[in-house]
Amino acid sequence: MEPTVDTSFLLLAASCLVFVVFYRSTRLSSPNPKRFPFPPGPPREFIFGNTRQVPSAPRNKYDEWKKIYGDIIYTRLFNRHNVVINSYKMAKEAMDRAVYSDRYHTVIMDKMVGQGQAFAAINYGQRWKTYRRLMSPYMHKAGLERYIPVHRRGNTWYLQTLLDRPEDFMKNFKLKTAKNLAEIVYGITGESAVDEYIYHSEHVMRVFLRAILPGSFLVNIVPQLRYLPDWFPGTEFKRIAAGAKRSYHYTISAPVEDVKSKMAEGTAGTSITSDLLERGEDEDVIKKMNASIYGAAVDTTVSSMHTFMLAMTLHPEIAKKAQAELDAVVGPSRFPTRDDQVRLPYLNAVFLEVTRWKPPAALGIPHCLSEDDEFQGYFIPRGTIVYNNIWAMSRNEAHYEDPNRFWPERFLDPGLAPGKHALDPRLYIFGLGRRQCIGKHFAEASLFLTFASVLATFDIAKARDESGREIVPEVDFDAHLKPFKCSIKPRSGAAAALIRDAVAANP
């Protein structure tokens, strides 16, 4: 249909408005009195800056620019300053400064979805400190111990699914992780409540992860676009935001309201939420603090499990070594426990290599500067979005010889990697500075327990096609959770019986 005069006029007016906003937005406001330069970066275009060069999945582009510009790269998307830090040493130095501890508030998540006070999104300040103070005790040793029975039950349930439906090994791992979390955070155990919790949390997380990527939504750069009418071409982002808003409101309210009514009936199970409510902590704080946990915890943990299964499929000799260690330390008649971890150095090295080889959060969660800063002779203005390039840190050849090789031994014996010091990836895969992942001990404990119990009871190998040929899964560092086939078989009848007995004893 031809546009009517009215429509054409509106299109023209909107285009002019967008242009004026673009133009004004390219004028930079920070003073920079000492005239320090910005960090090095690719040449910028008039008005657009580097907007047209930064793809929405920018990891490869950053790899390319790292070779040209080094460990710190500056780009500008319209008027937004972006800095990418590629080395651990430099990222640590920056992130240790409090001014790097705000978050990047995207227009879509903050203004349109209303998620600005969620744990991972809120700015550094009093309310964020309250979140960390309230959540920390549950994420450290003593707090974790309290939820070990939930992890253990989840683990044996998962092992049973590997016996019955091994082809669903990823789907069921995700379900196990989400169920454990729903139970630990809210005491949710009923199937439909868990499903609903997962559905809405996943929805918000998908939009959040997209929103924080540079260049993903134009409205994050030109906020005025959100006032365009819904029928206006290119306003799909409004529908996306409205859907995420509904889900976000569900995640902050419904599970906590459910705990409250169960507490009133006297039927609430033990959970972080019931604990905090009993202590009289602020309800709004509990709601918004807890609502980020699913998004931060599930995808990252699932990604590590995916990498583990892929690595074990590709490297049966490594799986065999870890199994020999488990057989010697744990034996065949029980499951490994967290206390065994210190006596399983090879499996520990496998854990470290899994997290390094394919880090779950390749660009972390972006930080934002609350004040102008001078860093390494460069000017970094207030409001700059800073990405810690965790992927680049994991590929640093000064720390990791042959970084694309899956090679746990690099963490065991420095003699095996002459002149190379394998940096512990836990120093950066969980982010850096004050905003470092609060769930890192939780993640390590639950992943280690799963890796150990899967290897103790199952053999993982390459699957075979109809003609009996081995299927070698592709390693694609860009793809997220790309499905692959493998063979998962119980190591013995005794291993299968151990699993069935454990599930029967603790359904």
User: Which residues in this chain contact ligand HEM in the complex, by CB under 6 A?
Assistant: 119-120, 292-293, 296-297, 300-301, 304, 360-361, 364-365, 367, 388, 429-432, 435-439, 442-443
Q: How far is the CB of 387 from ligand HEM (least distance, A)?
A: 10
Residue 437 assigned as binding residue: yes
Q: How far is the CB of 441 from ligand HEM (least distance, A)?
A: 9
Q: Which residue carries 């963490």 as its tokens?
A: 411
Judged by beta carbon, residue 296 or residue 329, the one nearer ligand HEM is 296
| CA dist list (Å): 124 to 53, 238, 285, 374 | 31, 28, 15, 20
CA quadruple 337, 172, 165, 459: dihedral, nearest 10 = -40
Distance of alpha carbon 216 from alpha carbon 226, whole angstroms: 15
Judged by beta carbon, residue 297 or residue 380, the one nearer ligand HEM is 297
Q: How far is the CB of 370 from ligand HEM (least distance, A)?
A: 14
Phi, psi (degrees; rounded to nearest 5) at 429: -65, -20
Judged by beta carbon, residue 81 or residue 435, the one nearer ligand HEM is 435
Strand partners, 72: 85
CA quadruple 247, 250, 256, 257: dihedral, nearest 10 = -170
The DSSP annotation for 253-303 comes to HHHHHHHHHHHHHT---S-HHHHHHHTT--HHHHHHHHHTHHHHHHHHHHH
Distance of alpha carbon 241 from alpha carbon 245, whole angstroms: 6
Judged by beta carbon, residue 288 or residue 435, the one nearer ligand HEM is 435
Judged by beta carbon, residue 277 or residue 305, the one nearer ligand HEM is 305
**Which amino acid is residue 262, in one-letter code?**
K
Q: How far is the CB of 179 from ligand HEM (least distance, A)?
A: 14
Q: How far is the CB of 342 from ligand HEM (least distance, A)?
A: 20
Give every CB contact of residue 145 below 8 A, 6+ residues apart in sequence. none
| CA dist list (Å): 279 to 218, 276, 285, 306, 392 | 43, 5, 13, 38, 43
Judged by beta carbon, residue 79 or residue 110, the one nearer ligand HEM is 110
Judged by beta carbon, residue 130 or residue 436, the one nearer ligand HEM is 436
399 closest CA partner among 86, 70, 88, 71: 88
Q: How far is the CB of 209 from ligand HEM (least distance, A)?
A: 12
Q: How far is the CB of 471 from ligand HEM (least distance, A)?
A: 27
Binding residues for heme are 437
Binding-site residues sit at 437
